[in-house]
Structure 1
């Protein structure tokens, strides 16, 4: 499937990016937000952007999103099972 987003022609220049850099950044922002909202997995988010899952997870810090976001109960359960 394909999603088409119209944006002002001058927007990439205003952000000091090429059109392809801007488009990649926009896809990444969407994937990161959907992942952060727990709407999609890291694997699905990575596929959305066209990158490997590990690469996607390593890039999350650039967007202020933790790669591992466990609640206290989940963390305690993981530690108990370790």
Structure 2
């Protein structure tokens, strides 16, 4: 795993866990990492990551509307 060092302003009131969740959640929503990889970034289990995601405004479903509509049409045989 790569190591990333960030320099944040002292005025930014953020804990390491919150910063990791925000970073991992964004990467997951953008499809850059899997759910398991996002959980690893934070250092928690996939289950815990899924349970916490909503508190940070992330959805476990990273499907686009177009993908969802396509899958519904295929499932309905259209």
Return the TM-score normalized by structure 1. 0.70
Gaps of 5+ in 1: 16-21
Structure with the bigger RCO (C-alpha within 8 Å, sep 6+) is 2
- 65, 68, 72: which is aligned to 2:69? 72
- Equivalenced residues, count: 71
User: 2:10 maps to which residue?
Assistant: 9
Q: 1:46 to 1:78 in 2, by over 3 A?
A: farther
For residue 9 of structure 1, report the CA deviation from its aligned partner: 2.3
**Over the residues paired in the alignment, what is the CA RMSD in angstroms?**
2.2
Change (3 A) 1:7 1:69: closer
**Greater fraction of residues in helix:** 1
The corresponding residue for 2:50 is: 57
| Alignment partners' CA distance in 1, 2:74 and 2:19 | 34
Q: Give structure 2 stretches of 5+ with no counterpart.
A: none
Change (3 A) 1:40 1:77: farther
Mapped to 2, the partners of 1:50 and 1:77 lie a distance apart of 38
TM-score with structure 2 length normalisation? 0.73
**Separation in 2, partners of 1:64, 1:54:** 17
